[in-house]
Amino acid sequence: MNTASRGLSRRDALKLAGLAGLAGVVTLYPERRAFATAHQTLDLAVERTRLTIDGATSHGIAIGGSIPAPTLRWREGQEVVVHVTNRLDEPTSIHWHGLLLQGVMDGAPGFNGYQPIMPGDTYTYRFQLRQAGTYWYHSHSAGQEQEGMYGAIVIQPAEREPVRADRDYVVVLSDHTPERPASVLRKLKLGSVSEGYYNRSKRTLFDFFRDAERDGLDATVRNRLDWGDMLMEPTDLADVTGYSFLVNGKGPQDNWTALFKPGERVRLRIINASAMTIFDVRIPGLPMTVVAADGQNVVPVKIDEFRFGVGETYDVLVLPQEDKAFTIFAEPIDRTGFARATLAPREGMSGDLPARRPRTILTMADMGMDHGSMAGMDHGSMAGMNHGAMPGMDHSSMPGMKQGPMAGMDHGSMKGMDHSAMMGMGAGSMPGMDHSTMAGMDHGTMAGMEQGAAKGSDRALGWADAATPPGTKALSYADLRAFSKTRDPREPTQEIVVRLTGMMSRYIWTLNGAKFDQGTPIRVAYGDRIRIRFVNETMMAHPMHLHGMFVELENGQKDRLPKKHVVLVPPGQTTSVQLTANEPGEWPFHCHLLYHMASGMMTRFIVERRTASL
């Protein structure tokens, strides 16, 4: 019955056959020169292991003997050599997530001439570090990343750090399941037989009665019919459940602990190395100052929590003054558990566990629909914002709100806004609205505009609603400003539309409607300035990852667009980025949700010399 393992062995045979022919190509590659000049040499073995989480033991795969893999501490400008030995009985690979390097060293099998590392083989990676910051590395083969093949990379800058910290910790968040990834994928793909296998929060008859009591029978029936008509489940927030959520490989009870002395400045390099989990991260009682996103320095921004896409990293500084323990708390957006760690002045302490946040319900707006009910809220009618009429508005909770673009906002004319029609209005789910001009407006305070959240944070509506309490600040992409000015201020000459598509019930995920290698690769000319417009036509968020190059998020920050290697595109939304195609090669471009990528949500992004066709 286990077709997956059969499939693997068949593939192995194919690869073994292919390798005989390709081995020559690999050894001829110029990166395999003499290694004598390397500044850093390191051996990493990949092998099966066991890991114990909160007392329960299961299987995993370790790089360098541990899960997560050892943190690689390097320095900008160094040339590093890493020998990776495969001690598994299946092919493996290691991809250096976020690093700028030559294609063959990127570690994505099937791209740039890189071949997977076969069982028993050793592959030598060699590259010069052209950047500083927090990055990570993980397997790019099968479901191995889910099984524990991930670790942090910390690159010290060659020049002075723009931030100073007394302590520096790596915080790797991940999700672990005792199930084999192949089995997870199979259950997701069995369609009608296993429909909604991992969703244990579907709407039931009881929910119907509860909603009918609250919203009225008519509204509830209409709501159910709307979803039924589209054959969608508004509780579909995550594809896979049954996860334990880990901090540096430790479960919530294991309680990974980092020490500080009160008054110290602590830098946390937080990495979302999950296979499938988008988190909401906070440290109750301790505001965080974000100083880097995806390894790249940003103008510091003080926040209370952030939403964390798979593959992203944020460096934050915290200044704990009190002699007490603080809890680093990360809840997956489907709220099926939490990851937890402690910042404490002494070993053995544990911070309080905060109240769990409610699980949001998706709305029609998350489907990119429901524009009609938002009609009254166009920018025109927001003219002439009257501060006097906003006595209840707490300015301190809106640090990111830009005066300029919002200057015309007239709250007075919003009085007539039909709140019942906004039932479905999630904090960020305002498709009719141009988000770029709303730079910095934080979701927390917007949540208060909606009925559900107004009652308190016991209910959340819409994908973006993290149930952030009023008066606290959740990071918004619009808050991110690159620390250095954009190096390439040219207007993009080419715009590429990437529709994020899929057949959820079949678990076929696609880009522009095509599975990997069934669609047309994206081709751009070397040196060009490109705009990519992600149009998310699905009701899930997709963390889109481009290998080889940073993209610059068009978030309204003009000449300081933040550089990202993963951009989380919310359901039903459009997000655009720019990039300078200055790394030649054939780069993977995919959704970083592991099972989405495995189901086809990937394409090739080819940067090549300009030809007549480009």
Gap between the Cα atoms of 350 and 342, Å rounded: 6
HSE-up of 248 (CA within 13 Å, CB side)?
16
Tell me how far apart the alpha carbons of residues 521 and 386 are, in angstroms, rounded to a whole number: 50
Least distance CB 203 / other proteins (angstroms): 7
The CA distance from 103 to 82, in Å, is 16
Q: Of 483 and 526, which has the nearer Cβ to other proteins?
A: 483
The residues near 528 (Cβ < 8 Å, ≥ 6 apart) are 492, 493, 494, 580, 581, 610
Contact 315, 265 (CB under 8 A): no
The minimum distance between CB 385 and other proteins, in angstroms, equals 11
Of residues 360, 215, 301, 611, the one with CA closest to residue 480: 301
Residue owning tokens 């709303």: 438
Which of residues 1 and 355 has its CB atom nearest to other proteins in the complex?
A: 1
Distance CA 539, CA 236 (A): 8
**Measured from the CB of residue 27, what is the shortest distance to other proteins in angstroms?**
19
**Three-class DSSP labels, 480-521:** CCECCCCCCCCCCCEEEEEEEEEEHHHCEEEECCECCCCCCC
Min dist. Cβ of residue 224 to other proteins (A): 8
The token duo for 1 is 């019955």
- CB-side neighbour CA atoms (13 Å) of 533: 9
CA distance 504 to 40: 45
Q: How far is the CB of 265 from other proteins (least distance, A)?
A: 6
Nearer to other proteins, 197 or 256 (CB): 197
Nearer to other proteins, 225 or 454 (CB): 225
CB of 524 to other proteins, least distance (A): 20
Strand boundaries in 319-419, DSSP class E: 326-332, 339-344, 360-361
Residue 398: how many CB atoms within 10 A of its CB? 18
The smaller minimum CB distance to other proteins, of residues 14 and 25, is found at 14
Structure tokens belonging to residue 494: 């080419």
**Closest approach of Cβ 2 to other proteins, in Å?**
9
Q: How far is the CB of 446 from other proteins (least distance, A)?
A: 16
Q: Rounded to an integer, what distance in angstroms lies between the CA atom of residue 567 and that of residue 551?
A: 8
Phi, psi for residue 491 in degrees, rounded to 5: -70, 140
Q: Which is nearer to other proteins, 5 or 41 (CB)?
A: 5
Residue 528: CB minimum distance to other proteins, A = 25
Residue with smaller CB distance to other proteins, 319 or 417: 319
* Shortest distance, position 207 Cβ to other proteins, whole Å: 9
- Which residues face 607 on adjacent strands? 524, 585
The CA R_g of the chain, rounded to the nearest whole Å, is 24
Whichever of 15 and 523 has its CB closer to other proteins, that residue is: 15
Point out which residues pair with 279 in neighbouring strands.
Answer: 308, 332
Using the minimum distance from each CB to other proteins, give the nearer residue, 225 or 614. Answer: 225
**What tokens does 566 get?**
């993963």
Residue pair 550/294 in contact by the 8 Å Cβ criterion: yes
Instruction: Please state, in angstroms and rounded to a whole number, the distance separating the CA atoms of residues 188 and 66.
Output: 29
Least separation in angstroms between CB 514 and other proteins: 12
